[in-house]
Every structure is written in structure tokens, then in C-alpha cells.
Amino acid sequence: KWKGEGTTQNLESIVIGRCYDYIRIVNPAVGEKNCSQIWEAFKSAFINKNPCSILPKDYELFINLTLHTIPPNKSLFWENNQLLVNSFADRGRRYMSLGDTLFGFVADFLYWCGQADSPGLDYESCPTTTECENNAVDSFWRMASITYAQHSSGVIHVLLNGSADGGAYPQPGFFADYEIPNLQKDKISQIVIWVVDDIEGPDIDSCGVNTVRTLETRLKTLGYDVTCTDNNKSAPAAQRGPISSDRGGSWNKLICDLPCESKDIW
């Protein structure tokens, strides 16, 4: 009956399994967490409820149970380049994007929703954002984004896609609407924006123009120290290879320009 994808099969096992993966292998520094209780808290946010009446605060208990420190200088915000961010952040080893926190990690790439008068999950379909904004998934990411922004500190990085339709800095967007307003100014020393085009994609947006300019102005007006760096398409994407070969495409070029501990991921 809804237009969106239904609940991911085996949701409970996935969430609990990812939780153990995270606390035991990905980031044991978070310490002991109760993964069954985390699942119960997650589920209680949307179970037995109208799937269009889920609010961010319904995930409050889930967030309290999963919350952990986000190391200073490790936050990585982004729009429209999730897969690049996933590889670049390296599961928290290089940067800790929202998807590399325990609360983001357990839900990444999943779909879920309940039903008004049944304790069951709806595996057939779930509401999309256009059908209703207060759906279980969108409200979850709103709550997660707010929490992530509030706990970010030091140098903040933002990785934007210069080839995205409509611009690198989308408005509305999670970064614009839920993250920027929740950054704690006194804990943040600098905001570094990176604008990276898709390999062989159009160069729609860059530092100082279009939506990136809007973003830079907004952040400066808020009193942040802002820098912006564009990727530089120095070589054909087809020649992408090890960084040492000096034939990097645009992603490579970005990576080369960054202060990475290891440059071997491409």
C-alpha cells in the first residue's frame, strides 16, 4: 500500500548482529553495550504505531543506549556520495561518519516500518518521504543526524558531490537542516569543505560558486573558520590506480591531497 521498499528481511538479526560486530570488532573502544536492549529500544520507536507518525524523539532511548564518544577531528559530514564516504572513512579508521558510529552503523542501508494495529513489521512496503515526512526511517536519520552533529568537535569535514543534480549542498537536506543547526560552535575549531566531482561526471559545483558558496557564506555568518578545497581532475578516471603511480582520477586526487595515514585504499 505504500510506495517505498518494505522492511528489510531479518531486520532483528541484522541489527543485533551489526551491534555485536561494531562493539567487538569495528570499534571496541565504545565499551560494553547491550545489543538486545538496543534492538528493543529501536523497535519500540515504531512498532504498533501509524507508520506516518514516528518522530525523532521516539528514538531517544535507542540513542541513549548506543551513544558513544565521537573522537575530535574525526567527524565527516556528506551529501550524495555515500559509497565514497564509506570507503574513505574506512569504518572509522580514518574518519567517523555517521554510518561509522554505533547508532548509524546498525541501520545503514536498511528499511523498516511498523503498522498501526499490529505488532508486526510491514515487509511489503513502507512510506516514502513524499508520502509522509514522519516515517520511521526519516525520523531515525533526523535523530541520528542531530545527535551526531551535537557530539562532533574539533576540525569538521564535509565531503560534497560537485556533480550532484541541483548542487553539492542540497537544501532541504540533512546537513543543511539537521546537522549545521546542531553543531556546537564552542567545540569546533574549523570546518573543512571538500567538493569532489564524480569520475567523468559533470563539474556542476565548486568552492565559491553556486550552492557551495551559499554553504560557505552560511557557515562564515555563523562564525566558523571555513576552508574549501576542490578536487582537481588531473588524469582520466580510467587510469585510476595505486596513488603511487601518480595517475589518480578525481577521487584519487582528493585522497592524495589529504592528510591520510595510509594512501593504499584505491
Residues near ligand ENP (CB under 6 A): 77-80, 82, 97-99, 104, 107-111, 137, 141, 144-145, 173-175, 179
Q: Least distance (Å) from ligand ENP to the CB of residue 197?
A: 16
Comparing CB distances to ligand ENP, the nearer of 96 and 243 is 96
Q: Least distance (Å) from ligand ENP to the CB of residue 60?
A: 17
- Distance from C-alpha of 70 to C-alpha of 96, rounded to nearest angstrom: 7
Q: Least distance (Å) from ligand ENP to the CB of residue 79?
A: 5
Positive/negative CA dihedral, 170, 171, 173, 177: positive
Three cell numbers written together for 17: 548482529
Comparing CB distances to ligand ENP, the nearer of 63 and 137 is 137
Nearest to 85 by CA among 181, 143, 156, 161: 161
Secondary structure (3-state) at 237: helix
Comparing CB distances to ligand ENP, the nearer of 137 and 226 is 137
Nearest to 7 by CA among 117, 97, 121: 121
Q: Least distance (Å) from ligand ENP to the CB of residue 36?
A: 21
Secondary structure (3-state) at 245: helix
23: left (phi over 0), alpha (psi -120 to 50) or beta: alpha
Comparing CB distances to ligand ENP, the nearer of 12 and 235 is 12
Q: Least distance (Å) from ligand ENP to the CB of residue 97?
A: 6
Classify strands 125-126 and 4-5 as parallel, antiparallel or unpaired.
Answer: antiparallel
Q: Least distance (Å) from ligand ENP to the CB of residue 174?
A: 3
Three cell numbers written together for 132: 509522509
Residue-wise burial string across 221-242, b where 16 or more C-beta atoms lie within 10 A, e elsewhere: eeebebebebbebebeeeebee
Comparing CB distances to ligand ENP, the nearer of 159 and 243 is 159
Comparing CB distances to ligand ENP, the nearer of 107 and 254 is 107
> Which three-class secondary structure string do you get for 32-93?
CCCHHHHHHHHHHCCCCCCCCCCCHHHHHHHHHHHCCCCCCCCEEEEECCHHHHHHHHCCCC
Q: Least distance (Å) from ligand ENP to the CB of residue 175?
A: 4
Comparing CB distances to ligand ENP, the nearer of 15 and 243 is 15
Three cell numbers written together for 84: 565514497
